[in-house]
Amino acid sequence: MTRNHRTLLLSALFGFSAFIAAAASAQSSPQLFSDMRWRQIGPMRAGRTRALAGVPSQPATFYLGAVNGGVWKTTDAGATWHSVWDNQPSGSIGTIAVSDSDPETLYVGSGEGLQRPDLSTGDGVYKSTDGGKTWSHLGLSNGQQIGQIAIDPGDANRVFVAVTGHPYGPNDERGLYRSIDGGKNWKRVLFVNDRTGASEVQIDPKDPKVVFCGMWQRQEAPWENGSWTGAEGGLYKSTDGGDTWNKLTGNGLPDDILQVQNLDTFDFRGIDIVLSSPGAKVSAQFAPRATKAGAVVIDNTSCFRMEPDVPLVVPEVNPKAIAEYQRRGIIANPNCSTIQMVMALKPLHDLARIKRVVVATYQSVSGAGRAAMDELFNQTRAIFVNDPVKPEQFTKQIAFNVIPHIDIFMDDGATKEEWKMAVETCKILDPDIAVTATCVRVPVFIGHGEAVNVEFERALSADMARAALRRAPGVSVVDHRADEGYVTPNEAAGEDLVYVSRMRRDPTVPYGLSFWVVADNLRKGAALNAVQIAEILAAEYLGGKRAPSRSNVEPLRRKAG
């Protein structure tokens, strides 16, 4: 630095100091600080923070556990924090409990203790008897997620640990554990099943024999925003220190949770509508029994789709066919890939009559069920960590691959999935339409895509087709000839609409168009379509009222033939 530079720097510093001194000596105005805002100053490596515990006998002492930042301690009510966890192998913290009878004793549960698509697991329970200076590992490593810890107010060695369990699959170490020797030994005192973990535990401070525990049945899917829950959870109470438990219901708590019942002995009398999706063999056995008892069955399997006296319905396309339920008491839900295609074909067929359809499908693994989705996840992971890949649900490896084989092969070389698309389209829309399909399974979790080529009897421009599709119920046109100007399965997942993109003229035939169709195969391709059928059935034929929340269904009878 030159002498001139040093002179300038000193001048600037002296000038700034003079400004501060003048400001301090002058009477301050509230407006001077009006733009200042409070900000958090630490500990900075918190992320999601779930665990916080104070020490009643030391009002300024607190412990904080971050989900991926370890355990922190303050002894001055949060003015300063220091880490007490730097040497431990797991940084993910779900819960902290401090003993009332011995404030130097605290227990820490690792793992976030919650369920979300992305989280950090832990390796069990830790204990300190010197206020966090040193730690010992107490086991329960396979629990992965510790929801909460409760310590007997009068005995630091009697402790309950709520093990939430593996976030992505079944886990035998779930449940509530108790130790009476400070964590040297654990006994599981409450267990429901390998998919239901303990999420909360509390000891009555006035009577330590009374313990409450929350059980939570939940499993995260390996894909974003996917999960499974169930009715096996609930609030449990023990009055003998955890030896026996009773599930609490009623008196304000849920007592009307729908329980899974045995289909073999279920009595369908008094049931109006049955939504059935147990597989074709089970439907063939039990759907007739339900209709005999007076119920109307909306069946999502392939069992009844092509039977001549059973209507095959897409409400936006052929809602009047619902009336034919009276013939056998059954309405069939079409195949998922057929539903989204005929949703796009119907408005175009009304304008120019379709002669022929050539379609190639790109079908997600969820169309083959949950086990298939798990296989995609497990194979993808195996490839990244160099583990062997073994196909189980599919005929070949699905991760980083495509498989031109869905359902069984038929005598003519087509697969049954390809046959379904052809015959179902004819039954729903028009028996004179010729359809040829190539159905391919792709490594996508949710959402089917279809490349559709259509030949018409007369001219239909791409602009006219777009305009007709924009007027169609349940269809959205997203078609911009630019980057990202189209919809993919990733955007369609979780949505109710059928999306049409890439509309263009086919120059190889006199009157032809090509376009791209995408939909969530679990929603419009299955569950939503069945519910829409049920809404119309109840409102128009069973004397009920149409649900107001499904606005897309309301205009179906006016707009569809």
Q: Which residue numbers are catalytic?
A: 336, 448
Rg (CA), the chain: 32
CB-based contacts of 431: which residues, under 8 Å, 6+ apart?
Answer: none
Among 206, 205, 197, smallest CA distance to 230 is for 197
Contacts 24+ apart (CB under 8 A), 123-128: 123/89, 123/90, 125/149, 125/161, 125/183, 126/88, 127/182, 127/183, 128/84, 128/104
How many alpha carbons lie under 13 Å from residue 284 in its C-beta half-sphere?
Answer: 7
Give the tokens for residue 502.
């890439």
3-state secondary structure labels for all residues of 87-129: CCCCCCEEEEEECCCCCCCEEEEECCCCCCCCCCCCCCEEEEC
Using alpha carbons, list the distances in angstroms from residue 421 to 153, 194, 279, 357, 427.
66, 39, 18, 10, 10
Distance in Å from the first CA to the final CA of the chain: 86
> What's the CA gap between 437 and 421, in Å, rounded?
7
Vertex 331 angle, CA 288 and 533, to 5°: 135
Number of other residues whose CB lies within 10 A of the CB of residue 13: 10
Number of other residues whose CB lies within 10 A of the CB of residue 545: 8
Residue owning tokens 């330590």: 208
Torsional class of 131: left (φ above 0), alpha (ψ -120 to 50), beta (otherwise): left
Using alpha carbons, list the distances in angstroms from residue 146 to 93, 191, 214, 435.
8, 15, 13, 55
- 87 and 78 Cβ atoms separated by less than 8 Å: no
